[in-house]
Protein backbone atom coordinates (compact mmCIF):
# COMPACT_ATOMS: atom_id res chain seq x y z
CA UNK A 1 0.00 0.00 0.00
CA UNK A 2 1.40 3.36 -1.00
CA UNK A 3 1.05 6.88 0.23
CA UNK A 4 0.92 6.63 3.98
CA UNK A 5 2.52 5.42 7.17
CA UNK A 6 0.60 4.06 10.15
CA UNK A 7 2.45 2.93 13.28
CA UNK A 8 1.11 1.22 16.41
CA UNK A 9 3.14 0.87 19.61
CA UNK A 10 2.01 -0.89 22.79
CA UNK A 11 4.23 -0.17 25.81
CA UNK A 12 3.86 0.52 29.51
CA UNK A 13 0.12 -0.09 29.67
CA UNK A 14 -0.62 2.23 26.76
CA UNK A 15 -1.29 1.64 23.08
CA UNK A 16 -0.70 4.46 20.60
CA UNK A 17 -1.55 4.62 16.90
CA UNK A 18 -0.04 7.38 14.78
CA UNK A 19 -0.50 8.21 11.13
CA UNK A 20 0.87 10.83 8.80
CA UNK A 21 -1.35 13.23 6.89
CA UNK A 22 -0.05 12.94 3.34
CA UNK A 23 -2.38 11.94 0.53
CA UNK A 24 -0.62 11.25 -2.75
CA UNK A 25 -2.00 10.65 -6.19
CA UNK A 26 0.79 9.05 -8.17
CA UNK A 27 3.79 11.30 -7.68
CA UNK A 28 1.76 14.33 -6.62
CA UNK A 29 0.96 15.35 -3.06
CA UNK A 30 -2.76 16.18 -3.04
CA UNK A 31 -3.23 16.89 0.66
CA UNK A 32 -0.98 17.09 3.67
CA UNK A 33 -3.33 16.94 6.65
CA UNK A 34 -5.59 13.91 6.19
CA UNK A 35 -6.83 11.96 9.25
CA UNK A 36 -6.01 8.28 8.77
CA UNK A 37 -6.25 7.43 12.46
CA UNK A 38 -9.57 7.46 14.31
CA UNK A 39 -11.49 6.18 17.29
CA UNK A 40 -14.19 3.53 16.99
CA UNK A 41 -16.65 1.82 19.36
CA UNK A 42 -17.34 4.98 21.37
CA UNK A 43 -13.62 5.57 21.86
CA UNK A 44 -12.76 2.04 23.09
CA UNK A 45 -10.90 1.13 19.88
CA UNK A 46 -8.38 3.06 17.82
CA UNK A 47 -7.46 2.28 14.25
CA UNK A 48 -5.48 3.49 11.29
CA UNK A 49 -5.60 2.68 7.60
CA UNK A 50 -3.38 2.56 4.56
CA UNK A 51 -4.73 2.33 1.05
CA UNK A 52 -7.62 3.80 -0.87
CA UNK A 53 -9.48 6.29 1.33
CA UNK A 54 -13.02 5.37 0.29
CA UNK A 55 -12.20 1.70 0.76
CA UNK A 56 -10.81 2.36 4.23
CA UNK A 57 -13.90 4.36 5.25
CA UNK A 58 -16.07 1.47 4.09
CA UNK A 59 -14.01 -0.92 6.20
CA UNK A 60 -14.16 1.37 9.24
CA UNK A 61 -17.97 1.46 8.91
CA UNK A 62 -18.12 -2.33 8.61
CA UNK A 63 -15.81 -2.77 11.59
CA UNK A 64 -17.92 -0.36 13.64
CA UNK A 65 -20.99 -2.51 12.85
CA UNK A 66 -19.12 -5.67 13.87
CA UNK A 67 -18.02 -4.01 17.12
CA UNK A 68 -21.66 -3.19 17.86
CA UNK A 69 -22.57 -6.81 17.13
CA UNK A 70 -19.71 -8.13 19.32
CA UNK A 71 -19.17 -5.46 21.99
CA UNK A 72 -15.87 -5.71 23.84
CA UNK A 73 -14.66 -8.49 21.51
CA UNK A 74 -12.25 -6.78 19.13
CA UNK A 75 -10.65 -9.99 17.91
CA UNK A 76 -13.98 -11.63 17.11
CA UNK A 77 -15.26 -8.48 15.36
CA UNK A 78 -12.08 -8.36 13.26
CA UNK A 79 -12.26 -12.04 12.32
CA UNK A 80 -15.89 -11.61 11.26
CA UNK A 81 -14.97 -8.50 9.23
CA UNK A 82 -12.14 -10.27 7.42
CA UNK A 83 -14.43 -13.23 6.64
CA UNK A 84 -16.83 -10.80 4.97
CA UNK A 85 -13.94 -8.97 3.31
CA UNK A 86 -12.71 -12.20 1.68
CA UNK A 87 -16.08 -13.63 0.66
CA UNK A 88 -18.23 -10.62 -0.25
CA UNK A 89 -17.95 -9.77 -3.93
CA UNK A 90 -17.97 -6.00 -3.29
CA UNK A 91 -15.64 -6.01 -0.29
CA UNK A 92 -13.11 -8.29 -2.01
CA UNK A 93 -12.19 -5.42 -4.32
CA UNK A 94 -11.33 -3.02 -1.49
CA UNK A 95 -7.68 -2.03 -1.40
CA UNK A 96 -6.70 -1.11 2.13
CA UNK A 97 -5.06 -2.43 5.27
CA UNK A 98 -5.92 -1.54 8.84
CA UNK A 99 -4.36 -1.68 12.27
CA UNK A 100 -6.74 -1.62 15.23
CA UNK A 101 -6.28 -1.83 18.98
CA UNK A 102 -8.21 -1.79 22.20
CA UNK A 103 -6.84 -1.92 25.74
CA UNK A 104 -5.84 -5.58 25.44
CA UNK A 105 -5.13 -6.49 21.81
CA UNK A 106 -3.47 -5.03 18.71
CA UNK A 107 -4.32 -6.41 15.27
CA UNK A 108 -3.48 -5.96 11.60
CA UNK A 109 -6.30 -6.65 9.11
CA UNK A 110 -5.98 -7.27 5.39
CA UNK A 111 -8.23 -8.24 2.52
CA UNK A 112 -6.40 -11.51 2.09
CA UNK A 113 -7.91 -12.69 5.37
CA UNK A 114 -5.10 -11.75 7.73
CA UNK A 115 -5.90 -10.95 11.34
CA UNK A 116 -2.42 -10.71 12.82
CA UNK A 117 -1.30 -9.86 16.33
CA UNK A 118 2.29 -8.64 16.54
CA UNK A 119 4.85 -10.69 18.47
CA UNK A 120 6.15 -7.53 20.08
CA UNK A 121 4.19 -4.40 20.82
CA UNK A 122 4.97 -2.76 17.47
CA UNK A 123 3.21 -2.94 14.10
CA UNK A 124 3.20 -0.70 11.01
CA UNK A 125 1.58 -0.53 7.57
CA UNK A 126 1.83 1.64 4.50
CA UNK A 127 4.63 2.68 2.20
CA UNK A 128 6.68 4.08 5.08
CA UNK A 129 5.63 1.31 7.44
CA UNK A 130 8.87 -0.64 7.35
CA UNK A 131 10.90 2.49 8.13
CA UNK A 132 8.64 3.37 11.06
CA UNK A 133 8.61 -0.25 12.24
CA UNK A 134 12.41 -0.49 12.24
CA UNK A 135 12.77 2.81 14.07
CA UNK A 136 10.13 1.90 16.66
CA UNK A 137 11.71 -1.50 17.31
CA UNK A 138 15.06 0.19 17.86
CA UNK A 139 13.42 2.58 20.36
CA UNK A 140 11.37 -0.07 22.22
CA UNK A 141 14.05 -0.81 24.81
CA UNK A 142 14.65 2.86 25.66
CA UNK A 143 13.01 4.89 28.42
CA UNK A 144 10.66 6.53 25.89
CA UNK A 145 6.94 5.93 26.36
CA UNK A 146 4.70 4.62 23.57
CA UNK A 147 3.69 8.06 22.28
CA UNK A 148 7.26 9.34 22.21
CA UNK A 149 8.32 6.23 20.28
CA UNK A 150 5.53 6.78 17.74
CA UNK A 151 6.44 10.44 17.29
CA UNK A 152 10.16 9.77 16.88
CA UNK A 153 9.73 6.72 14.60
CA UNK A 154 7.21 8.56 12.40
CA UNK A 155 9.63 11.49 12.10
CA UNK A 156 12.31 9.07 10.91
CA UNK A 157 9.91 7.49 8.39
CA UNK A 158 8.94 10.96 7.10
CA UNK A 159 12.61 11.74 6.45
CA UNK A 160 13.02 8.57 4.37
CA UNK A 161 9.69 7.86 2.63
CA UNK A 162 8.48 10.33 -0.01
CA UNK A 163 4.88 9.23 0.63
CA UNK A 164 5.03 10.17 4.33
CA UNK A 165 4.96 13.59 5.95
CA UNK A 166 5.35 14.95 9.47
CA UNK A 167 1.72 16.02 10.00
CA UNK A 168 0.75 13.41 12.57
CA UNK A 169 -2.57 12.32 13.99
CA UNK A 170 -2.04 10.33 17.18
CA UNK A 171 -4.59 8.50 19.32
CA UNK A 172 -3.84 6.64 22.55
CA UNK A 173 -5.57 4.26 24.96
CA UNK A 174 -4.43 3.48 28.51
CA UNK A 175 -5.04 0.07 30.03
CA UNK A 176 -6.03 1.79 33.29
**Catalytic residue positions, numbered:** 4
Residues 6 or more apart whose Cβ sits within 8 Å of residue 133: 7, 122, 123, 124, 153
Secondary structure class of 17 (helix, strand, coil): strand
Q: State how far the Cα of 40 lies from the Cα of 107, in Å rounded to an integer.
A: 14
SS3 for 123-169, per residue?
EEEECCHHHHHHHHHHHCCCCCCHHHHHHHHHHHHHHHCCCCCCCCE
Compute the C-alpha angle 142/130/36, nearest 5°.
Answer: 95
Q: State how far the Cα of 156 lies from the Cα of 165, in Å rounded to an integer.
A: 10
Amino acid sequence: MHATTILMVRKGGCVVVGGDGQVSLGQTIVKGNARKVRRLAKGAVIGGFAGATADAFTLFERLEAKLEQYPGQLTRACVELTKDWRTDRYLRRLEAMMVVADKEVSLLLSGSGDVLEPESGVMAIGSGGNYALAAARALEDTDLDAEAIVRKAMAIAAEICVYTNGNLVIEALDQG
